[in-house]
Structure 1
Amino acid sequence: MSTFLERLQSGILVADGAMGTLLYAYGLDTCHESYNLTHPEQVSAIHRAYIDAGADVIQTNTYGAQRFRLKNYGLEEQVVAINQAAVGLARQVAGSETFVLGTIGGFRSQRQCDLSLEDILEQTLEQVKALLDTQQLDGLLFETYYDVEELVAVLQAVRPLTDLPIVTNISLQEAGITTDGKPIVEALSRLVMLGADVVGLNCHLGPYHMIQSLKQVPLFAQSYLSVYPNASQLAIDGENSQFQFSQNATYFGKSAELLVAEGARLIGGCCGTTPDHIKAVRRAIKGLKPIERKVVTPLIPVADFVERVRKTDTLVDKVKKEVTIIAELDPPKHLDIDKFKEAVKAIDEKDIAAITLADNSLANTRICNLSLATLLKEEVKTPFLLHLTCRDHNLIGLQSRLMGMDLLGFNHLLAITGDPTKMGDFPGATSVYDVTSFKLLGLIKQLNQGQSYSGASLRRQTDFTVAAAFNPNVKNLARSIKLIERKVAAGADYFMTQPIFDSHVIEELADVTKAVDQPFFVGIMPITGYNNAVFLHNEVPGIQLSEDFLAKLEAVKDDKEACQKIALDESKHLIDKALEHFKGIYLITPFLRYDLTLELIDYIQSKI
């Protein structure tokens, strides 16, 4: 029998379709890879169905058989057993007439993945070695890689381990461009140069957009092209509210002819495809020969049609030159905004650098900060700095909100993960967390390059300056430097700290951050009274007030004016300490007591 690459050299091979789609049809909806051990007969039946439909190539049921994913099901210690069982099942059904590829799925996708690249490589290599040890494979298939950096690193690590053919399939969110906004041809060319024997696309897009994507890809001298489209775009069944793909096998088969015309030599199916789709592909390509020449249609680079915007002075520019104040207000929980407007206008008269509006702080429902800023922007001269939380917005909502902020001229942001909903007034609500603040920082920076998160062009760059939150109220502040460095690497332009109530913490923060170029705004929140102090000290994690300060408040706890004076004196003491080391002060207004914020602004400005 000819080898896998020998067959591709002279002809077109048909690959199999989706495994998960059919397992769902069998009613198996937990860990698909575990079925290699618990339901081997169903896995074997799916392999057999695809071979009977005309597949020359099948893949092992191991897409998610890495330690990280298996851990979700308590199966992380069965990595080797699950992968090797999958190879055995596929080879037993395939015999010697059908090729078997060992499948490895990418980690980084549209959703957040907190593993470092080093961890990803470690777990990928663990899976690869388990697959290779069977000595029953005809090649390896790396599929559904949205992140080109990840796939490049994986290929570089795996290529020296085996002489077996390697297939690398990238997934796109937009036709023709990777998620970093580059033409797909650049990524595929790089994979070819690193030793991939077959390069191509799979998942997310249906046949039409994959055909359009391949139009820009030439025929490579050293490698062949593969393509595994989804059956179609997802639709929702109105009767049972379930997502489903179109049952369009005939269309899928006709599309295969067009894929062959673009140079594809390995054609299979991804999500939503069934043996009917593969049968249609087999029927459609019968008698077709691989093309030898091709006219390429280049993609217009994003940079060629992105309009650049003028970068104006930012908070970062200002705070590097002089003492800079920003003041926070919480939007109201109700629709009576008279006092809120009064507070905004009073602070506006103080001529500070920015008024910052929180985004449903502590997971309590408040008026949308973007709406309030839009309502008031014509009435105040002080810029608004808007918080944006990952908790309340999925990726669609985050990018939509960011584009809206840019159009409205709100270009100062604080990117935060957000407190979980169980802390707030709707504890049963869902915390979205498609991403954390780290990935949100990167998304904002990508928009500043004129690219959406999917890699598509925005036709103009945004102009965001973005802050990251930092909590210095931890047991070992020195260890937090790694967290700061990660946020800087993600794109933080400056930092805003949680409120600090201990001058020693300010001293330690100054020492820890002395090598950090990004400015820090030190959070100062005045105490409103004895009860407020007791609550913060005993019930808010990470906040500790000094025993001396608490004793002073307790001694006059029934005298509101005396309590307030002691509290403000303490805030001024903290401001003095902060100004010894930092030029940025971040005043957090408690309970809309803007009178306290005004007094502290006056105090700071009197010292400048």
Structure 2
Amino acid sequence: MGLLERLKTDILVGDGAMGTLLYERGIEHQCFEEINITQPDQVISIHREYLQAGADVIQTNTYAANHLKLSKYGLEERTAEINRRAVALAKQAAADKAYVVGTIGGIRRFQMEESTLDEINEALTDQLITLIDEGVDGLLLETFYDLEEALMITKEAKKHSSLPLIVNVSLGDIGVMSGGIQATEAFSLLTKAGADIVGLNCRMGPAHMLRSFEEIPIPEHHYLAVYPNASLPDYRDGRLFYSSNPEYFANMTGRFIDQGVRLIGGCCGTSPSHIKAVAEVAKSRVPVQKKTLKFTVREPIPEVDLTGSEKKLTEIVRKQSSVIVELDPPKKLSTKRFMEGAHALKEAGIDALTLADNSLASPRIDNLALGTMVKEQVGMRPLVHLTCRDRNLIGLQSHLMGLHALGLNDVLTITGDPTKIGDFPGATSVYDLASYQLISMIKQLNEGISFSGKDLGERANFTIGAAFNPNVKYIDKAVKRLEKKIESGADYFMSQPVYDHQQLEAIYEETKHMTQPIYIGIMPLISARNAEFLHNEVPGIKLTDQIREAMSTHEGNREASKQEGLAIAKSLIDTAMDYFNGIYLITPFMHYDVTVELAGYINAKTKIKQNQSIFE
């Protein structure tokens, strides 16, 4: 009798974890899927232990056996061999007394994606075809955090086979996937795409999964599955540990069955003892046909009250000339000179003071703290940079929630310079996300939803800037990156410093189709050494030969160099203002007197233009 036929009348028991069990047994620093070839007896032994515990359905040891994941171990050429061997081992252990399902794990997570969706589709499709060809009894797609990816491979599976198809997704919060997608909605879409059995696995223990199932109806023509983790993991001495709680699993099994679940196994941290506990309960029960749904009342997230709030930067720069100035947070503990500069720039009439986030990977005073000081003590709009380098997902969301709480609603998202170039080259660069993903997540906060899908109770009100580097060989490719950031939700752009009049015109021609405004970066030079350093050593900045020569003529004369740098900056501003409303001045080495003068120059030009338009 086939798997789906059995589920019409029986509760079936799945197996438990393979990877964490191998880990517990001393296999730490190699690919778990490679064990199919190098230590097959270990895999067969675990399969048999689960079968002896009462499992009706066992999984092949192929969770990450796709060529994208295996390439990290140099095993991509052995992808098919590893999958074929895994099926053979599972079949040998099952001996036709249990169903063998070919397991395929999701690739996408919250983190920075190294592969495109097309590449993921190719990798997972190749894997599922191999598993099908080896004669598995069904397919199990598991640990899919991303619904788009899960739907994609579900459709591919149905295109290539009529085998029973189990699709388990992983939740970001109780009842919701990342992005705020309700589990009920996800299940409905997956069954329409071809899944026969839909369920939840990984990330959560039994309690949170049970609460999710209490809101999920029993499908009429499909079945529900659950594979919870043993518990929340603990971390001790560099290793992860899960609580051993088989009796608890036994208690929860009956409650899952009451919610209409018909296939029950285990995920991370579970062992044969957990599965034995599940089997002892499941074998004495019959499937539940009806249940009473528990509805969680979710209050609608209120719209942001903008009464009395200041205009957004995007509103300002679309209508008139706008000046923002970057003033680097200090590397030392004193904020005296920084605050003097902030006050001076406020008097100069700029629209925002932008605060870098540990620029060039060197630690500085936290820009959240300085942004608060600028807002409260100077009465000026702070524009806070946010890099992906220094914070993981938890830290990024926490930081953004703090910005929201303080009313600092203007942010610039950047990936960030690698730590190798900074004061602590041995520090870890996090890069959980790329900048365009961070943009998407901030937009999600503006909907009142956390990165994981949790309801945050109210909406944030961030205006999101993104970086633009036009100093590249092919500017059209740089513009395509801008378009990708626009798709993610960028509201405006701030460019790297530009030192070429013709380039300013080229930027305009390449971006004039965009509705998102651009602040053109202008950074005044203060010496010939400064010019050569920027040109030769700082990523994303290039100077023309003419400008470098002009600065070199004043080498050794500090004041003359400064005046030459100001003259060059004013000339670039003249050209930039012919094409763009936004100017982004970058203060060199805390010489805020220079950017104060340039801000005054821009404001004077703006007034002249306004007067001319009146008389015209």
TM-score tier after normalising by the smaller chain length: over 0.9
2:288 alignment partner, SS class? coil
**Per-residue deviation, 1:433:** 1.1
Deviations 1:134-162 (Å, cap 9, x if unpaired)?
Answer: 1x211111100111121112212221211
**Per-residue deviation, 1:421:** 0.9
1:295 matched to 2:295? The reply is: no
Is the 1:229–1:268 contact (alpha carbons within 8 Å) kept by the matching residues of 2? yes
* Inter-CA distance 159–244: structure 2 relative to 1 (3 Å threshold): same
1:266 matched to 2:263? The reply is: yes
**Per-residue deviation, 1:468:** 0.7
* Inter-CA distance 42–422: structure 2 relative to 1 (3 Å threshold): same
**Per-residue deviation, 1:351:** 2.0
1:226 matched to 2:225? The reply is: yes
Distance 1:285 1:12 in 2: 6
**Per-residue deviation, 1:343:** 0.1
2:166 is matched with which residue?
167
User: Which residue of 307, 310, 313 corresponds with 2:305?
Assistant: 310
1:255 matched to 2:257? The reply is: no
One-letter amino acid of the counterpart of residue 277, structure 2: A
Q: Sequence identity of aligned pairs in percent?
A: 48
2:46 is matched with which residue?
46
**Per-residue deviation, 1:447:** 0.4
User: Which residue of 269, 273, 278 corresponds with 1:276?
Assistant: 273
**Per-residue deviation, 1:572:** 1.0
1:300 alignment partner, SS class? coil
1:592 alignment partner, SS class? coil
Distance 1:482 1:300 in 2: 43
Is the 2:174–2:212 contact (alpha carbons within 8 Å) kept by the matching residues of 1? yes
Is the 2:383–2:411 contact (alpha carbons within 8 Å) kept by the matching residues of 1? yes
One-letter amino acid of the counterpart of residue 220, structure 1: P
One-letter amino acid of the counterpart of residue 7, structure 1: R
Distance 2:390 2:526 in 1: 29
2:385 is matched with which residue?
387
**Per-residue deviation, 1:555:** 1.9
2:99 is matched with which residue?
99
Distance 1:294 1:518 in 2: 51
Distance 2:382 2:300 in 1: 30
TM-score using structure 1 length = 0.97
Distance 1:92 1:242 in 2: 32
Distance 2:125 2:526 in 1: 56
Equivalence map 1:339-488=2 (5 Å)? 339-488=337-486
One-letter amino acid of the counterpart of residue 64, structure 2: G
| Greater Cα offset, 8-17 or 23-32 | 23-32
Is the 2:323–2:350 contact (alpha carbons within 8 Å) kept by the matching residues of 1? yes
Is the 1:325–1:354 contact (alpha carbons within 8 Å) kept by the matching residues of 2? yes
Is the 2:12–2:282 contact (alpha carbons within 8 Å) kept by the matching residues of 1? no
1:524 matched to 2:519? The reply is: no
1:586 is matched with which residue?
584
1:70 is matched with which residue?
70
**Per-residue deviation, 1:559:** 2.1
**Per-residue deviation, 1:112:** 2.3
One-letter amino acid of the counterpart of residue 111, structure 1: Q
2:8 alignment partner, SS class? helix
Is the 2:11–2:283 contact (alpha carbons within 8 Å) kept by the matching residues of 1? no
What 5-or-longer segments of structure 2 have no aligned partner?
607-616
1:140 is matched with which residue?
139
**Per-residue deviation, 1:429:** 1.1
One-letter amino acid of the counterpart of residue 580, structure 1: D
**Per-residue deviation, 1:390:** 1.1
Deviations 1:282-314 (Å, cap 9, x if unpaired)?
Answer: 11223111001111112334xx33122134531
Distance 1:218 1:294 in 2: 8
Deviations 1:354-403 (Å, cap 9, x if unpaired)?
Answer: 11111100001100011112233222222100001111111111101101
Equivalence map 1:170-189=2 (5 Å)? 170-189=169-188
* Inter-CA distance 406–607: structure 2 relative to 1 (3 Å threshold): same
1:23 is matched with which residue?
22
2:221 alignment partner, SS class? coil
2:320 is matched with which residue?
322
1:34 is matched with which residue?
34
**Per-residue deviation, 1:111:** 2.5
One-letter amino acid of the counterpart of residue 60, structure 1: T
TM-score using structure 2 length = 0.96
**Per-residue deviation, 1:556:** 2.1
Distance 2:238 2:157 in 1: 42
2:613 is matched with which residue?
none
What 5-or-longer segments of structure 1 have no aligned partner?
none
**Per-residue deviation, 1:122:** 1.4
One-letter amino acid of the counterpart of residue 268, structure 1: G
Distance 2:229 2:204 in 1: 6
**Per-residue deviation, 1:241:** 4.7
**Per-residue deviation, 1:481:** 2.3
Distance 2:60 2:501 in 1: 60
Is the 1:200–1:225 contact (alpha carbons within 8 Å) kept by the matching residues of 2? yes
Runs of 4+ with >6 A deviation? none
Deviations 1:411-454 (Å, cap 9, x if unpaired)?
Answer: 00001111111110011111111112121111101100000111
2:324 alignment partner, SS class? strand
| Greater Cα offset, 107-116 or 336-345 | 107-116
1:256 alignment partner, SS class? helix
1:591 alignment partner, SS class? coil
Distance 1:170 1:232 in 2: 18
Distance 1:218 1:346 in 2: 63
